[in-house]
Amino acid sequence: MQQVYFDNAATTQIRDEVIDAMTRVMKANYGNPSSSHSFGRSSKALIEKSRKAVAHYLNVSASEIIFTSGGTEADNLILLSAVRDLKVTHIITSKIEHHAVLHTIDQLVKDYKIAVSYVDLKPNGNIDYLHLETLLKNESKTLVSLMHINNEIGNVLDLKRVATLCKVNNALFHSDTVQSVGHFKMDLQDVQVDFITAAAHKFHGPKGIGFVFVRKNSALKPLIFGGEQERGLRAGTESVHNIVGLETALKSAYDNLDNEVAYIKDLKQYFINKIETELANATFNGKSGNMEKSTYTLVNVCLPIAPQKAAMLLFQLDLKGIACSKGSACQSGSNQNSHVLAEILTAEALQKPSIRFSFSFYNTKEEVDYVVDVLKAFID
């Protein structure tokens, strides 16, 4: 049976050079980075080298990069500290954010009685920038939290436009950039976002490691207490091999970015063409079928299948060796449909199965042919 992995938005295959780098560190650099002896100092030096490398790719200072266990912890750190320590009383977000943001905000409403405003969405899933501007006309201390690349439908937020709106209205701006770091060039001197988050396993690095960018003088406070690691913002002994793995993955991503983007774009366009040619009445959700207005890494397809048969689709694809998803991997096992699609699709469209296919440079056109053939046979 052929094996096809089209779920790269959930997690990615680790690059060989990342595994090699991590293995070397685990063998040779096992000292505690907080220890003062040479074993500890060598581990600490690797962490600081990695911090400088991450900062370089984002055009920020090394002191503004804090390593975390991943994007979820990073989002929690920013949102909780903004309310608890920066005295934010109003959060503006959207109903199609990742649950790491939405569920955290729900808890903050319970614990701190903050006000939450949800920016209007257009039928294609893009936010209404004029409505955002209206919501920002508020006397409260405000934080805007909007993701750069939507992880389910691939829509792209105009980061610079939102950052400018926030600055004009004295609001803080946090963006979940888990789907964009390592896939798009980012200059945070040009885009004045206050906080961003990232996870290494989304750009061919290890799981369990990510980072948050915290702009200088933000006065953010820790979420995890203990030692003074990570500038006092994230206590706990650092995972040196994972941090080096993140650095190596990010370096490889940006060193190869132009070639890999061109390759994956061509693959996505090929996939779109095959779907349009072979599967009559299939449609693309959000802007994911538009090569110019969505990320190049994924498509979300609504398939013309009756509800009774649709329930078996993912199971049948798995039997054929095809890995894909109906939405965020964090919802796997839930009986609920995608909260993102529920906000933008009609009731009739929601009755049909929607599948997210997400790509990497490891994928091939032959795999696309196989997947489309399987889908066609299932629909027929």
Distances in Å between the Cα of 39 and the Cα atoms of 22, 226, 238, 331 are 17, 22, 14, 41
Residue 210 CA, chain-centre distance (Å), reads 11
- b/e map of 230-263 (b: 16 or more CB within 10 Å)? beebbeeebbbbbbbbbbbbbbbbbeeeeebbeb
Bridge partner list, 8: none
Written as one string, the DSSP assignment of 309-357 is: HHTTHHHHHHHTTEE-BSS-GGGTT-SSPPHHHHHHS-HHHHTS-EEEE
Q: Which of 166, 302, 324, 330 is catalytic?
A: 330
Show the CA angle centred on residue 20, arms to residues 18 and 25, nearest 5°.
Answer: 95
| Interatomic CA distance for residues 232 and 220, integer angstroms | 10
The yes-or-no answer on residue 324 being catalytic is no
Which residues participate in catalysis according to the annotation?
330
